[in-house]
Chain A
Amino acid sequence: MSQDVLVIGGGIAGIQASLDLADMGIKVHLVEKLPSIGGKMAQLDKTFPTNDCAI
């Protein structure tokens, strides 16, 4: 039995889920296939509808 959570994928969804869990005091293991997290959103320049910077 373990209270830890495994998150697979370090894109915006995986990052958000990991941070929410970690802020609740739950230990998270975040596995990402690529050398760095960020996913597709890190490739975006700006995001709609506010034109905020994506990174």
Chain B
Amino acid sequence: MLDVGRHPNIALLAYSEVEKVEGQAGDFNVTVRRKKRYVEKDKCTGCGACAEKCPTKVSDAFNEGLGSRSAIYSYFAQGIPSTHTIDPDFCRQLKGKKCGICEKVCQADAINFDQEDMIITLDVGAIIFAVGYDVFDPSQIPEYRYREIPNVVTAMEFERLLSASGPTEGHLDRPSDRTVEAEIATLEKNLKKSKRTLEKLEKKYDQTSAQFYNQYQQGQYQDDRDEQGRKKWADKYATHLAIMEPLEALKKKAEGFTVAKKLAFVQCVGSRDFRFYPFCSGYCCMHSIKEAVIAHEHEPETTSTIFGMDIRAVSKGFEEYKIRGGNNSNISYVRGRVSEIMEGPANNPVVIYEDTHKRQVESREFDMVILATACAPTKGIIKLAKVFGVALDKYGFIKTSPLSPVDTTVPGVFVCGCAESPMDVPESVAQASSAAERAAEIAIQLRSEKEKAVA
């Protein structure tokens, strides 16, 4: 990533979208919209002072909604470019409220609320599509109860929980436990505030709140000359008690929290399923094994069960990785498809499945269930394909033919990575180099023609 930002031959147009294309191979004219960030890219140093002080907190898409970020943000800590961006959907200032804190704290004077979109045109000889994929939304499968059961997560969400730079700093805290902890934090904050108010009142009346409240309830202060004041104190103390009770209950519940140690991985969620995508997404078997291996590295007591029709470990070193996972990382493989996920006691998901080796329908309780979601064509691809005139296949990936796997239906336009079909990182890299070479053929041919003309 860093190399891209530094390379003299690469002009990086982040936060931009292609709007229009004209011409043909060797001579395309492309219109690109550079969206306004409300931050001057040449001035922003990426220091993050603005994000620290921004009062608006928003769900963080990079962390799959498991963490929060500010309305002014960098997409992720190591992101290139490091230029910050203001989210116009949430920024108080842009929503017409009074704020502008980021503008005040920015030492580089980079904030510009009056910035406009920039339209630029590019002349290029060849184009490469590398628009990637979308994670399949498993809430379309009602029997897996994703979003209903908090401890059922997607593989990408689990990846963020495992990551040291993620919302839990790599600790496998369960989403249901994190919700309780967040509630405790809010209640504690409120309690602190109410304690301060009560302390002031106790000082004023020279009595403890508990003593006073007891007497007040017995009717001692009914005709007090400071009846209003006493009533206010009693109300404040009642609110205080109303915070204390649920807080104590939640704290007691949180005492039993540990990291997730019993994990279930459900394969083929959306893939190899005629209701959604009949194809195999290819990388999910290995992805699940890898996540189970890493979870075991973090916590040696972790046991993982991978439920799948078969484990497809088809590439260099993959089968060995699968066996090593089974031998060294407490992974067991169950052949069978999960039919339903229910919620058991203590927010534990219960997986109901058929073990086809035993020919038995069984159910098992886990700390967390991870859904190996399909590789779905990205939503924006339909619009982009229309702009370029390239054909899509029946699923919505870019159409290619087996003997020219990086050529689209438009000459001079090439494709690589998951825009073409589901594939893993090594395959994406190999296909990217292949697409780069095909594009270079056009560029280099043009260059030599130009050189000949000059000679």
Interface on A for B, CB 8 Å cutoff?
A: 1-51, 55
Contacts and interface: CB of A to CB of B under 8 A. Distances in A.
Contact of A3 (B80, B122, B447): B447
B164 A36 contact: no
Main secondary structure of the interface of B (DSSP, over half): mixed
Given A49-B286, A51-B293, A51-B294, A37 B14 contact: yes
B401 interface: no
Pairs of residues from A and B, 10 with the lowest C-beta to C-beta distance, nearest first:
A13-B417, A36-B79, A14-B130, A16-B432, A9-B130, A20-B436, A22-B9, A2-B123, A45-B163, A36-B75
Nearest to A1: B27
Interface of B: 1, 3-4, 7-18, 26-28, 30, 32, 37, 62, 64, 73-76, 78-83, 85, 122-133, 135, 156, 159-160, 162-164, 166, 170, 286-287, 289-290, 293-294, 315-318, 320-321, 380, 384, 416-419, 424-425, 428-429, 431-433, 435-437, 439-440, 443-444, 446-447, 450
Contacts of A41: 425
A40 B133 contact: yes
Contacts of A26: 9, 439-440, 443-444
Given A28-B11, A33-B16, A35-B15, A17 B76 contact: no
11 contacts: A2-B124, A5-B126, A6-B18, A34-B14, A34-B75, A35-B15, A35-B83, A37-B12, A37-B79, A38-B75, A39-B132
B11 A29 contact: yes
Contacts of A43: 62, 64, 156, 159-160
Given A8-B127, A31-B32, A33-B17, A1 B439 contact: no
Contacts of A17: 128, 130, 416, 432-433, 435-436, 439
Contacts of B32: 29, 31
A7 B11 CA distance: 10
Contacts of B384: 8
A35 B85 contact: yes
B27 A2 contact: yes
Contacts of B126: 5-6
Contacts of B159: 43-45
A32 B1 CA distance: 13
A11 B145 CA distance: 30
A10 B443 CA distance: 21
B432 A12 contact: yes
B201 to A, nearest CB: 49
A9 B416 CA distance: 10
A36 B425 contact: no
Contact of B74 (A2, A5, A15, A35): A35
A31 B17 contact: yes
B123 A11 contact: no
Nearest to B79: A36
A38 B13 contact: no
Nearest to B318: A49
Contact of B14 (A16, A18, A27, A35): A35
Nearest to B62: A43
By CB atoms of chain A within 10 A, which of B27, B130, B416 has the most? B130
Nearest to B163: A45
B290 A36 contact: no
A20 B241 CA distance: 66
A29 B315 CA distance: 33
Given A48-B289, A49-B320, 5 more contacts: A6-B127, A10-B4, A17-B432, A26-B9, A47-B290
